[in-house]
Amino acid sequence: MAQVHPTAVVHPGARLHETVEVGPYAIIGEKVTLGEGTRVGPHVVIDGRTTLGARNRIFPFASVGGAPQDLKYAGEDTELIIGDGNTIRESCTLNIGTAGGGGVTRVGNNNLFMAYSHVAHDCVVGNGCIVANSVALAGHVYLEDFVILGGLSAVHQFTRLGKHAFIAGGSMVTMDVAPYCTAQGDRAELAGLNVVGLQRHGFSEEQIGRIKEAYKILFRSKLQLAEAISQLKTEMGGHSEIEYLLNFVSQSKRGLTR
Residue 94 is which amino acid?
L
Residue of 101, 108, 139, 197 marked active site = 139
Residue of 23, 47, 97, 121 marked active site = 121
The C-alpha atoms of residue 9 and residue 168 are separated, in whole angstroms, by 39
Catalytic-residue membership of 176: no
> Is 218 within 8 Å of 242 (Cβ atoms)?
no
Query: What are 95's strand-pairing partners?
Result: 66
170-183 burial, b at 16+ Cβ within 10 Å, e below that, comes to ebbbbbbbbbbbbb
The C-alpha atoms of residue 3 and residue 208 are separated, in whole angstroms, by 48
Catalytic-residue membership of 121: yes
Catalytic-residue membership of 77: no
Residue of 122, 140, 164, 176 marked active site = 122
The C-alpha atoms of residue 229 and residue 87 are separated, in whole angstroms, by 38
Q: Which residues are marked as active site?
A: 121-122, 139
